[in-house]
Chain A
Amino acid sequence: MNFNEPDLAAALAEGLAQTDVSVSAKAQNIAWEECVSDARLHFFETDGFNGRGTSWRELADRQSEYIGLYVNSFGMPHTFDPGLDPARIGPLDEDQWVVRLERLERGLDNSIYTFEELSTAHAERDLVALDRFADDWNAVRDARPAFSTFLREVQDEISRPDWPELLRDRLGLAQHQPTGKPIPVALMAYSVREVLAEAGSGIPFTIPTVLDSVLWEHYFPAPKEIPFGRAMALTPCESDENLVAEILHSRVSYKGRHISALGKIVTPLPALPVATLREQHLLALQIASGRDNFGA
Chain B
Amino acid sequence: MSTSPNGALAKHGWLDVFLAEPLSELTRLLAGRAEVYPYTRAEPVDAARMLFGDLDPEDPARTTLSGAILDWLRKARSAPLSINPAVQQNQIRQVVNAFEIVGALDLLAAAEQLRREYIRWRTWVDTLVIGPSRDGRAAYLRMLAATQIPLAQRFANPDGLMPMWIRLCVEAGASLPDNYLQIGLVGLRKLPVALRRGDTPWLAGLSEWALAHDPSDADFMRVWRPLKRLYPSSHAVLRKQVYSLLSQATYRRANIVPPGWWGADPDFPKAQGRGTISFEPPPKEVRESILESIELERPFSLIKPRVDQLIESHRLYATRSGESDYLVRTFSNVGYKLIEHGRDARIERAQQAQMLARETLNHKPFDVIAWSLWRDSLVALGHYEAARDLAWEIVRRFPNNSLVRNLLAELLAAGGEMSKALRVVGQTVEEGIADAVTYLVMARIEAACTNFEEAKIAAKKGLELDPMNPALMAETERLNQRKLPGVDVWHYKIPDVKGELHADPGQDEVLRNGRLRALRDQLVSDEDARSELHRILNEDPTFAYAQILAARHRLWQAEDESLPPVAAAFEIALTEQDRGRLVELAKRAPRLIALIHLARALFGDEESAEYIARLLSEEDEGRLLEGEKIIKFRLAPVLQGVEEGEDPVKAIIAQRMRVLNTLYDANEALAAQEFLAA
Contacts and interface: CB of A to CB of B under 8 A. Distances in A.
B448 to A, nearest CB: 60
Contact of B90 (A69, A113, A133): A69
Contacts of B96: 140
A136 B186 CA distance: 11
B226 interface: yes
B38 A174 contact: yes
A136 B182 contact: yes
Contact of A112 (B47, B53, B189): B189
Contacts of B502: none
Interface stretch (A29-37, A214-222, A235-243): A214-222
A180 B9 CA distance: 7
Interface in B199-233: 221-223, 225-227, 229-230
Interface in A120-170: 121, 126, 128-129, 131-133, 135-136, 138-143
A75 interface: yes
Contacts of A73: 86, 89-90
A73 B90 CA distance: 7
A180 B89 contact: no
A75 B33 contact: no
Interface residues of A, number: 52
Interface stretch (B131-139, B362-370, B573-581): B131-139
Interface string B9-31: 10000000000000000000001
A194 to B, nearest CB: 19
Contacts of A140: 96, 132-133
B32 A67 contact: yes
Contacts of A49: 86-87
Nearest to B3: A268
Contact of B221 (A60, A68, A128): A128
Contact of A110 (B42, B131, B142): B142
B250 to A, nearest CB: 25
Contacts of A69: 86-87, 90
Interface in A177-233: 177-181, 213-218
A55 interface: no
Interface in B567-602: none
A217 B41 CA distance: 10
Most buried by B among A70, A112, A131, A179: A179
Contacts of A293: none
Contacts of A135: 179, 182
Given A49-B86, A74-B133, A175 B38 contact: yes
A70 B39 CA distance: 21
Contacts of B186: 112
B503 interface: no
A68 B47 CA distance: 16
A65 interface: yes
A109 B41 contact: no
A123 to B, nearest CB: 12
Given A135-B179, A139-B179, A216-B40, A109 B90 contact: no
Task: Determine which residue in B103, B135, B185, B225 has the highest number of CB atoms from chain A within 10 A of its CB, and name it.
Answer: B225
A216 B226 contact: no
B8 interface: yes
A105 B37 CA distance: 19
B65 interface: no
Contact of B185 (A112, A129, A175): A112
B9 A64 contact: no
A218 B38 contact: yes
Nearest to B85: A75
Contact of A105 (B49, B94, B130, B182): B49
A117 B93 CA distance: 29
Interface residues of B, number: 56
Contacts of B39: 175, 177
A113 B50 contact: no
B226 A129 contact: yes
Interface string B46-59: 11011001100000
Given A112-B230, A180-B8, A74 B89 contact: yes
A60 B230 CA distance: 46
Given A64-B32, A74-B131, A213 B41 contact: yes
B53 A117 contact: no
B229 A175 contact: no
Contact of A106 (B46, B50, B131): B46
A74 B134 CA distance: 7
Nearest to B89: A74
Interface in B76-120: 85-87, 89-90, 92-94, 96, 100, 103-104
B295 to A, nearest CB: 48
A180 B645 CA distance: 78
A68 B230 contact: no
A213 B135 CA distance: 22
Contacts of A180: 8-9, 53-54
B225 A142 contact: no
B146 interface: yes
Given A61-B33, A74-B130, A117-B230, A106 B45 contact: yes
Contacts of B87: 49, 69
Nearest to B92: A74
B1 interface: yes
A175 B33 contact: no
A73 B91 CA distance: 11
Contacts of B49: 105
A177 B50 CA distance: 8
A133 B37 CA distance: 30
A103 interface: yes
Given A129-B226, A217-B37, 12 more contacts: A60-B33, A68-B94, A69-B90, A74-B131, A75-B85, A112-B182, A112-B186, A117-B229, A175-B42, A179-B9, A268-B3, A269-B38
11 contacts: A64-B32, A69-B90, A70-B86, A74-B93, A112-B189, A142-B134, A143-B133, A177-B39, A214-B32, A214-B40, A216-B41
Please give me the 6 A-B residue pairs with the lowest Cβ-Cβ distance, nearest first: A180-B54, A132-B226, A74-B89, A142-B133, A174-B38, A69-B86
Interface of A: 22, 49, 60-61, 64-65, 67-70, 72-75, 103, 105-106, 109-110, 112-113, 117, 121, 126, 128-129, 131-133, 135-136, 138-143, 174-175, 177-181, 213-218, 268-269
